[in-house]
Amino acid sequence: MKYLRLLLSLVFISVQFLLCAQNQAKDAKLDSKAALQKLSTIYYLIDNFYVDTANFESLTEEAITTILKELDPHSAYISKKDVQKANEPLEGSFEGIGVTFQIFQDTILVVSPVSGGPSDKVGIMAGDKIVKIDGEDAFGKKVNNEYVAKHLRGEKGTKVILGIKRGNSDELIDFEVVRDKIPLNSIDASFMLDNKIGYIKLDRFAKTSMEEFDAALAELKAQKMKSLILDLRGNNGGYLNIATELSNQFLKDDMTIVFTEGDKNPKQVFKTDKKGEFTDGKLVVLIDEGSASASEIVSGAIQDWDRGVIIGRRSFGKGLVQRPFNLADGSVVRLTTARYYTPTGRCIQRSYDKGSEDYFKEMTKRMDHGEFYHADSIQFPDSLKYSTLISGRTVYGGGGIMPDIFMPVDTSYSTKLYTDLIRKGILNRFTLDYVMANRNEILNQYVDFDRFDKEFNITDSMIDDFRTFAEKEGVTWNEEQFERSAPLIKLQIKALIARNEWNMENYYQVVLKEDKVVNKAMEILNDSNQYRKILKR
């Protein structure tokens, strides 16, 4: 029976594979019944004649993975044990104790409790170290992200006893925490950059994203926002319906946002169905090579309708629609069923004709080719030219969204020293140490983030301490390289202190001051003539 169940699950996948293969084969067509019989025979032979006892569950999972890999780069198999983990970022929540943490010197360090979450309610504070979990030592080499997830996450309503070391006290404080549902926010930051321009950074298109976005937009409008920067850099996508709902906010009624089409899936057009909350104000969307899927749907619709200016670098080029199919054992196949097209008909998906391995080396090839640094390194044939739907501007297909304004990777402060500091986590660990040692002093001196932002400066003595810390951690200090990277190093130290003392939004409020892409966006939004000229209005 076990063999039969496994075989039936394989048959389902095999049918999908054969249907796709029939469409793509040029020289010969497979007969589905004969092919299925061939697969069944292989399993029968292994089960009855193989020298050892075969693990059919493992063989089946390997077969499924291999079949899907041959179809396209984004069809995927998710085993039963990984389904929940795979869905969490898009579901917008998980169940646990509600803390942001870091592994610091083999110890679980609470960076901040989630406001209103289980840990916050019982009094756990930023800077606390979790050294015991249910009476068991929770430090040492065994402690990693997987260990923390296994011991601190759990079903809502279950209890866990945490032994907390606070400050310099040797005495542990015990907290009983009742696990609960913890929100995973998809908006990293939302605030006013000046008295007219608002900024929203969306990390992913999750179930809760529109609730978060609507609240952020309302708050910014209450602060008299006239123009908006929507930052989709590094946003690798999420739910299609969230992408269309977000596009709804910027486009007027009955406008095409995206359409999908596949050999076995007829054309489906998604249009705006209501008047959005921000259809008239000036808009800039930021994208880069990490912006994919849903991010490309939004930026493509904004560009095709001449609704706003797209700034950054060419997006990833992921325009394949995956539909989940649940298998009998609780595992899931995410099978590509269609392609995304922008309103002008541009296919978002870039080519994967040379196979998945070559496809995922695309970013390295772009860098080697110079695309991250020079816009003219990207050549588009006339066959890939399209015209926008209002102004008739030229835009390009061929995979991904090419921005209206190209911004190269900023290498102004790049040195080997800075790379080593990032790679070895020196900046992060130094600022954690600094905040832990000076938390009360920082709060007493600066009261809140706004005052910290205006008055806090990185002193020479802090840099001396930082250099000593870096050298102790194995970084070779080069003074000439430090002088070149100093502005960025100091900015990151201040921003990370702000994050560790307050929250992630405050981190962005510090670093965006020196973000050339954001500054370019602000320049364009503050110059109505330049904004209209780009959009040919």
Q: Point out the catalytic residue in the list 203, 288, 304, 420.
A: 304
Does residue 319 contact residue 261 with C-beta atoms inside 8 Å?
no
**Catalytic residue status for 288:** no
Active-site residue among 318, 331, 404, 515? 318
> Residues 6 or more apart from 496 whose CB is under 8 A from it?
427, 428, 431, 507
Task: Name residue 169's amino acid.
Answer: S
| CA–centroid distance for 490 within its chain | 26
CA 246, 248, 249 angle in degrees (round to 5)? 70
Give me the phi and psi of 488, to 5 degrees please.
Answer: -75, -40
Give dist(CA 337, CA 419) in Å, integer.
Answer: 41
Q: Give the end-to-end CA distance of the chain in Å, rounded to a whole number.
A: 68
Nearest residue to 356 via CA among 65, 90, 86, 15: 65
**How far is 184 from 388, CA to CA, in rounded Å?**
36
**Catalytic pick from 227, 291, 293, 485?**
293
Here the tokens at position 332 are 């899931």
Residue of 329, 285, 303 whose CA lies nearest to 518: 285
Looking at the DSSP bridge assignments, the partners of residue 395 are 386
Q: CA-CA distance, 240 to 323, in Å (whole number)?
A: 11
Give the whole-angstrom CA distance, residue 502 versus residue 439: 10
Please say if 304 is a catalytic residue.
Answer: yes
The DSSP bridge pattern shows strands 309-312 and 320-326 to be unpaired
Q: Is 318 designated active site?
A: yes
d(CA 129, CA 111): 9
Distances (CA, A) of 248 to 278, 301, 340, 395: 9, 10, 17, 22
Q: Which residues are catalytic?
A: 293, 304, 318
